[in-house]
Amino acid sequence: MGEESRLAAVVALAQGMAAAHSSREAWRAAAGGARRALGGSFAALSVWERELGRLRVLVNVGELAEGEEEFPEDESYPVHQFAEITEFLHERWAGGGEPDAWVETAQGPGEGRAGYCHQRVAALRRRGRGCCVVAPIVLHGRAWGELYVARPVGEPVFAGADADFATVLAAVVAAGIAQTERLEEARRLAFTDSLTGLANRRAVDARLDEAVELHRRDGAVVSLVVCDVNGLKKVNDTLGHSVGDRLLERFGSVLSLCGAMLPGALAARLGGDEFCLLAVGPSADEVVKAADEVCRRAVELDIGDGVACGVASTEDPIGPVHSARRLFRLADAAQYRAKAERAAHPVVAGREVPDDPVVRLADEPSREADGERRRFRGRHAPG
């Protein structure tokens, strides 16, 4: 490959990773771009998990051998089987050397400095590959993992120039991974409540819109639990805001714990003393049971005065739910009634029939005009 072709391959790899919207997409772009750049039939990206002492495969691309998957759930290898990542890479690089790539062949050592690795040679033979080039990935000044590109038996063996080029590609991959991590951290912060670590209102808005669309399209059960922590103002006024924050944090932990009873449920803090659970799939009775557990555990906290909890589920007789806004109104109205009645258990929209007062309250046109309800302004404001 000429100099211009290699430069184009580097640019294509960098652009592919920059266009990725998730870590998985970035991993695939990295491995795929390196495979094409080096003329390989297969490529993999692996991470060194120090705390577990293993090299875990993140993605496989190209011609996969039997048993290989694109995104394997449990393909990992004890790091002592590939000791060069700790011995050669870490010790040599930390001592002032370069994290250079090297070549292994199915017949034994190839060009490069890592030396013979029996496990790699055995893996090449087992999977019908003739050679591979292994490029260490260094991120934030530490060994992060490796980029691996292979060719089948009968294809030209990687040369020293290929190893040098793989070293360059690994540096580009490292930069792309760092950028992806920064973006994902920014996304995480944008959708996370800083005090409790739960999801925030923005995350709920996005997830609920998707859930209601799924309900309209496929009939999926969508349930929303809205909670209002009782006594927060009194705690803030008498014990201080730091104690009030501790109450919110502790209730957030209770909500997370109870939300785990519902597979895939989203636990969130909407703001102030308001929290919610959003569940897609579990039955309305399962959601009510989880909400009841929230109420029980909230009472057991040594600060605050329990919680007012309202539930609205598309599985209950609440009428058509064509928008996230209406489900919010229903759950909010149920929570409003629970607070007014100082109910020890959740109030569930649609379960007092006929003429359920919660559904009637949620759907009253006057609620928007007189400003009776103060929450869910903006996208999901009453109306």
pLDDT, tens digit (0-9, with 9 covering 90-100), for 29-79: 999 999 999 999 999 999 988 777 788 999 999 999 998 999 999 899 887
The torsion of the CA quartet 227, 228, 229, 235, rounded to 10 degrees, works out to 170
Q: Which residues contact 259 (CB under 8 A, 6 or more apart)?
A: 265, 266, 267, 277, 279, 290
CB 76 within 8 A of CB 97: no
| Beta-strand runs (E) in the chain | 42-49, 54-62, 76-78, 102-105, 108-109, 129-139, 142-152, 222-229, 266-271, 274-280, 307-313, 347-348
In angstroms, the Cα distances linking 222 to 61, 166, 286, 311 are 37, 49, 12, 11
DSSP annotation of 342 reads T
Average pLDDT score over the chain: 86
Return the ∠ at Cα 197 (arms to 375 and 201), rounded to 5°. Answer: 25
Question: CA angle 95-101-107, nearest 5°?
Answer: 120
Q: What are phi and psi of 321, to 5 degrees?
A: -115, 100
Q: Which of 131-145, 238-252, 352-366 has the least mean pLDDT? A: 352-366
Within 10 angstroms of residue 272's Cβ, the number of other Cβ atoms is 12
**Prediction pTM value:** 0.58
Statement: residue 367 has pLDDT above 50: no
* 192 DSSP assignment: B
Q: Is residue 197 a contact partner of residue 252, using CB atoms and an 8 Å limit?
A: yes
Residue 160 has pLDDT above 70, yes or no: yes
Q: What is the pLDDT of residue 128?
A: 92
pLDDT in tens, 260-283: 999 989 999 999 999 999 999 999
Torsion angle in degrees (nearest 10) through CA of 105, 111, 116, 118: -20
Q: What are phi and psi of 223, to 5 degrees?
A: -130, 145
The string of pLDDT tens digits covering residues 294-336 is 999 999 988 889 999 999 999 999 999 999 999 999 999 999 9
pLDDT of residue 379: 38
Please determine, for residue 291, whether its predicted confidence score (pLDDT) is greater than 90. yes
**pLDDT band, residue 228 (cuts 50/70/90):** very high
Report helix, strand or coil for 319: coil
- The pLDDT assigned to 378 comes to 38
pLDDT at 120 over 70: yes
Confidence band, pLDDT 50/70/90 cuts, at residue 181: confident
Question: Which range is least confidently modeled, 21-25, 124-128, 364-368?
Answer: 364-368
Strand 347-348, strand 307-313: pairing: parallel
List of residues 6+ apart from 158 with CB closer than 8 A: 38, 103, 110, 111, 131, 132, 133, 149, 151
